[in-house]
Amino acid sequence: MLRMALIGCGNMGGAHKRAIEQLSGRVRIVAAVDPDEARVAATAPQGSALRPTYFPITASLTAAPRTI
């Protein structure tokens, strides 16, 4: 089974989620990433064991050392 991360949970993310759900048994969403915590929570497939976890990536990026 292919394990996928859904990057972006807005309109296109929803379209991708529906397409992935059509491949049931072959593909499974194991992670979802979006700056909006509510969108991440709404992305968990019904009946799945996926427990949405929110991580504020913006804070991590701004705290990281700036190197080029």
Report mean pLDDT in 10-residue bins for the chain, 68 residues.
87 88 85 81 69 68 73
* pLDDT confidence of residue 47: 63
Question: What pLDDT does 40 receive?
Answer: 81
Phi then psi dihedrals of residue 18, to 5 deg:
-60, -40
Residue that the structure tokens 């705290």 belong to: 63
Write down the pLDDT at residue 50. Answer: 63
Beta bridge partners of 25: none
Indicate the helix (H) or strand (E) that contains 2. Answer: strand 2-7
Structure tokens belonging to residue 68: 């080029």
Which pTM does this prediction carry? 0.62
Contact 17, 45 (CB under 8 A): yes
Structure tokens at 16: 């991708």
What per-residue confidence (pLDDT) applies to 25?
84
3-state DSSP call for residue 62?
A: helix
